[in-house]
Amino acid sequence: MSKKDLKLMLINNKIAVIGLGYVGLPLARLFATKYPVIGFDINRKRVSELNEGVDNTLEVSSKLLNEVLLKISNLKKGLFCSSDLADISGCNYYIVTVPTPVDKNNGPDLTPLIKASQTVGKVLKKGDIVIYESTVYPGATEEECVPILEKVSGLKFNIDFFVGYSPERINPGDKLHTVENILKVTSGSTTEIGKKVDALYASVITAGTYLAPSIKVAEAAKVIENSQRDINIAFVNELAKIFNLMGIDNNEVLKAAGTKWNFLPFKPGLVGGHCIGVDPYYLAQKAQQYGYNPEIILAGRRINDSMGEYVACQIIKVMIQKGITIKGAEILMLGVAFKENCPDIRNTKVKDIITYLEDYGIDATIFDPCVNSDEVMKEYNINCLNVLPKQKFDAIVLGVSHNEFLNIDLEIIKKDNAIVYDVKGFLQYEVDGKL
């Protein structure tokens, strides 16, 4: 297919983005600057808020959202959000951006992906292309999603309809590395479809695209990106444990080692969120299906999943050293989001710290000005305050490095013998403990 043919092909695009969360909305907004886009989500409240120009994930500003929002769905370009299946029936590209979590046993939970595929299958027509962005194990798109599309639509794969895969690389809360500024990996179920998918993304992604030779290669590339980060963070978390035992400041060790040009600048901490704390399990289970037990990947997961308990034990140790009675002690936890300057609470490991502290009879108060308190209660049954409490505490723990926390006068909320534990090494304050 020539460049001229690709350009002509792009003219008549109408895109449906399935799932308007942290990944789908920024992508839909970007495509809407050039194409007619229908943003589809089953959450009617979310759709209503978006149509009013409000994104409670804070990934897309009201200004940018209102620049592309439409009240009707039949103009040349712009974004129309809907929960009505009929509104996406006239599209020729369907981009699926639903989450791919793990279950209670850390096995891949493809339920959202399966339901999204069923939804698309109901409106799929001849010639349509379905592109998946959700992180999965290699083979999931063609082995799990395609059969559902065929069954529901009654169409034949690679004859009547086609599939692509372009893994999301969104970094929630990051206003520098936005979707258009991150190089996009693309792929297609045939060589020609790969070129079409690549051309579609290349038309809006200013950072450029990379066309992978197959869908499985693109799937594998995505899942190892986060697995690699997980392993590197696990390494420095293990170093933190070792150097704490030796009485050596781990942060100073990393700072000294970082003077070498090829030393990787990872820092210890809690590994939660929708990607790094989840995706390695997808690769691990698939590897086990092939008879291989991935030792390094799972070892990294064990270390990082243990950090909540480890931090809680370190906090209690410091409290005991300062003569603070543990049972009934009052602790203020600063932050419950999974990362700094972001309202995203998915798979937050701060919850683990809170759970272990409460198991010791400690009374924990959680303060996070960035998150939705109702969502925290619904997801974790934790009461979270959005306003700093005025009482004094036996211990103050920084779990998330929100910029707002730098402005807190800790002396006002500390009891006389209180400790301050800085999980993130963020506070500009003399602390009693840190990772």
CA 309/CA 307 separation, integer angstroms: 5
CA 318/CA 314 separation, integer angstroms: 6
Tokens describing residue 322? 């300062």
What residue has token string 């500390």? 414
Contact 61, 69 (CB under 8 A): no
Contact 193, 146 (CB under 8 A): no
User: Comparing C-alpha atoms, which of 242, 232, 179 is closest to residue 23?
Assistant: 179
Contact 268, 237 (CB under 8 A): yes
Q: Which of 81, 145, 275, 342 is catalytic?
A: 275
Active site residue 275: yes
CA 273/CA 345 separation, integer angstroms: 7
For CA atoms 93, 97, 98, 101, the dihedral sign is: positive
Which of 411-415's residues contact partners 24+ apart within 8 Å by CB, and which partners?
413/332, 413/388, 413/389
For CA atoms 378, 384, 386, 387, the dihedral sign is: positive
Total residue length of the chain? 435
Inter-helix orientation angle 250-257/215-246, to 10°: 120
**Strands (DSSP E) found in 41-180:** 78-82, 93-96, 129-132, 162-165
Question: What residues are annotated to the active site?
Answer: 275
